[in-house]
Amino acid sequence: MQFKNKAAEERFETWRAAQTSDYEKVIFIFAERWADGIEDLLEWLPDEDLGSIARRAECEACEELNLGSMSGYSYGCAVALLADVWKHGEALRRWHNRDPTNPASHDPRAVAEANDRGETLVFCGLTVPGGASRGS
């Protein structure tokens, strides 16, 4: 996973070390595998849109981790985490907020406001600001 910078990598490692439950740890493991998969697919399929790549990499990460799927909340936390620390995180966050399969994205005004504020729309109806604690 390519981090935005050294400070982002240090934040990620600090946050990951602070997670105590298996539920929280899986979000970090999934986020890292998902980002790795997206990076690989971006390299192999440079003309493919980010949404298609993100969905494909998500399925591959879930299969690899034997998760079946992620809950909407866990998925949103992974997006918010990646938005804060990952090289492609901002593009992923903006795509996620507009994704029609994200139940939190059905209000266009909320999507625009969240994108303007740098927030991630999370399935449970909450917004998680970039840089907020995630599950800790």
Residue whose C-alpha is closest to residue 128's, from 84, 88, 95, 91: 84
pTM: 0.80
Is 129 or 94 the better-scoring residue by pLDDT?
94
Separation CA 84–CA 129 (nearest Å): 9
Q: Specify the pLDDT at position 10.
A: 96
DSSP state letters, 20-56: -SHHHHHHHHHHHHHHHHHHHHHHH-TTS-HHHHHHH
> Which tokens sit at 34?
């998902």
Compute the average pLDDT of residues 12-17. 94
Q: Quick check: 78 and 27 in contact, CB under 8 A?
A: yes
pLDDT tens across 32-52, in order? 999 999 999 999 999 999 999
* Mean pLDDT, the chain, whole residue set: 84
Reported confidence tier of residue 125, pLDDT bands at 50, 70, 90: very low
Measured in residues, the chain has a length of 136
Tell me: pLDDT of 129 over 60: no
pLDDT value, residue 123: 58
Tell me what the mean pLDDT of segment 59-79 comes to: 85
Q: Where are the domains of the chain?
A: 6-129
Residue 20: other Cβ atoms inside 10 A: 10
